[in-house]
Amino acid sequence: MWSAMIAAPRLRVASGGNRFFSLTVQGTVLGVIDRFPLLLGTDVFDERQKREVLSELFDYRPHLMASAALLLVIVQVFLAGARLEAAISGLLVVVGTLLRTLVGRRYQTDEAFGDAGKCARAFAVTCVGVALFWGVTGAILYRAADDNMRIVVLAIGCVFVQAVTLRTYMAPGPTMAQVAILIAFHAAAIVYDGLYALIPVCILYTLFQGMCILALGRVRIRQMRAERETLRLLDELQRTNTELTRANLRLADSALSDPLTGVGNRRRFDEALATMAAAAVRQDRPLSLLLIDVDHFKSFNDEHGHVAGDEALRRVAARLRSIAAGPDHVVARFGGEEFAVLLAGVDAAAARGIADTILVSIGDHGAERPLTVSVGVATARGPDGTAALVGEADRALYAAKRAGRNRVLSHSDFADLQQAPDSLSA
């Protein structure tokens, strides 16, 4: 009875100790898995960055170069007399290289197997398989080689470990598995020779590679986060610049538009005249100008009010825009009730036809409040003509008003332009 009472607490203590040990081991394993996942940055990177990382991991060309170096050692071992070991090692290297190459090619041709998680698992399996092939190969070569070649085998093994660490650190779990497998097989071969003192060196080397993997991964994550932030800022800057450009265009458009009628203002007319006149001289093309004045507009305002007068000006501007709608045509409010229409590449006859169309369109007597207009037409070609274009069109307009209004007159329709006044009030 006493023995049972004494044994029970011991059993509970033992059970508690085992549970504590189990929890400690479980926590350690989970911590290691958390620090060495299959792929870094899955919760941080965008799709482009994930594909960039996966493309680096699945690139099999460095593996081909490493395999070529290992085959050189195999040839030396074969020539030294260990033909069976060399043949087995060569077969393992070829199988591992084919596996790595096929998986890499599959990634390139099959849209990366689908999602990043599937890619990471495929890469992990490939890494473990290739590491086993390489590890067994290294151990066989070490056992079969002479003392000088053993140093070469160990050196190549260290280079492989270092290359794996530097190339695939973005997949910490598979990379650490490769490192541990490669070092373990080489360590087993070394221990077989009785060099037990090198076991701590192998352990420290493995831990060092693990620290390098984690450090490189942290640096790469910071780099890619900075890259994402830079791209975000560039996108934001581009959007801001686009909005600013649109705002500037709207501002420029409002600065060159007449607020009442929506057509160009006098500033717009002056700029367009200078540009179109220079182009007409350079291209040896005609440039025509129509000056349109609303007849008896002051009387119209006195009779119907300024609101009706504003609406009448808007209606006239809309008719002018619909008639002179070509890409080389500019409609502007010249001042008051006067409008101007610039017609690039239009000769005198065609300009007269457009003016007649305007006269008929605006003089529609079926309207509730009919209006009429007088139109002066001038056409120029060459630098001297374009310089006098506005004056000639203004004198033609005066002549049309003097002749009774509601008509079109061009610069060539009357003989004595020099004696006509330069302007006439409405």
**Beta carbons of 216 and 166 less than 8 angstroms apart:** yes
Distance separating alpha carbons of residues 259 and 333, to the nearest angstrom = 10
Question: For residue 409, which of 263, 424, 275 has the smallest C-alpha distance?
Answer: 424
Q: Which residues contact 59 (CB under 8 A, 6 or more apart)?
A: 104
Instruction: Give me the numbers of helices (H) and strands (E) for the chain, helices first please.
Output: 14, 5
Beta bridge pairs of residue 331: 341
Q: Which residues contact 396 (CB under 8 A, 6 or more apart)?
A: 291, 376, 377, 378, 409, 410, 411, 413, 414, 417
Catalytic: 111? no
Token pair 């540009």 is found at 275
Distance separating alpha carbons of residues 424 and 397, to the nearest angstrom = 9
Give me 12's structure tokens.
Answer: 């509970």
The amino acid at residue 33 is I
Distance separating alpha carbons of residues 307 and 373, to the nearest angstrom = 19
In the three-class reduction of DSSP (H, G, I as helix; E, B as strand; rest coil), residue 331 is classed as strand
Angle, helix 172-192 to helix 116-144, in steps of 10 degrees: 10
Distance separating alpha carbons of residues 419 and 199, to the nearest angstrom = 116
**Beta carbons of 112 and 51 less than 8 angstroms apart:** yes
Catalytic position from the list 111, 311, 337, 338: 337
Our CA angle for 88, 146, 154, nearest 5°, is 75
**Beta carbons of 16 and 78 less than 8 angstroms apart:** no
Helix (H) or strand (E) holding 287: strand 287-294
Q: Which residues contact 410 (CB under 8 A, 6 or more apart)?
A: 348, 351, 352, 355, 376, 377, 378, 379, 396
Distance separating alpha carbons of residues 420 and 414, to the nearest angstrom = 10
Distance separating alpha carbons of residues 372 and 426, to the nearest angstrom = 12
In the three-class reduction of DSSP (H, G, I as helix; E, B as strand; rest coil), residue 259 is classed as coil
Q: Rounded to 5 degrees, what are φ and ψ at 2?
A: -65, -40
H helix intervals, 45-115: 47-57, 61-79, 83-109
Active site residues: 337
